Amino acid sequence: MSLTKSEHLTVAEEIKTCEKQTSQMTEIPGDVKFRMILCAIIEKPRSVREIMLMTCIPISTVYHRMKILESHDLVRKNFLITKDGKRCHYYQSKISIYPDIGMR
């Protein structure tokens, strides 16, 4: 899976807008990468690979940040079994971008 240049720009704009909202709504570690990851998974579940492609954050960093976000109970983790029998984990933010809705 790869994003086209226009898709990448659209995602980048969405992440920038979402970063502003999440930085005001939550007290997670101040690293911008945490907010970028949360913004990437706020609307729908995504795999670590999808998050990496959307945010241009190295995959090892995404895995590390996901563990920290899980420990703060800020993400929901599910998995699907692929055709070849492997587990593919998907993460979704528990934080809503709408302050009046709160946690999902």
Query: The domain spanning residue 41 has which CATH number?
Result: 1.10.10.10
Q: Is 102 a domain residue?
A: no
pLDDT tens, 1-11? Answer: 555 656 555 66
The domain containing residue 24 runs over which residues?
A: 5-93
Q: What is the CA radius of gyration of the chain?
A: 13
In a domain, 98, yes or no: no
Q: What is the pLDDT of residues 12-66, one digit of tens each?
A: 676 666 665 555 445 555 678 888 898 899 989 999 999 999 999 999 999 999 9
Domain count, the chain: 1
Assess if residue 59 is contained within a domain: yes
In b/e form, how buried is each residue of 44-60, taking b as 16+ CB within 10 angstroms?
ebbbbebbbbbbebeee
Q: Does any domain span residue 73?
A: yes
Q: Which residues contact 19 (CB under 8 A, 6 or more apart)?
A: 32, 35, 36, 39
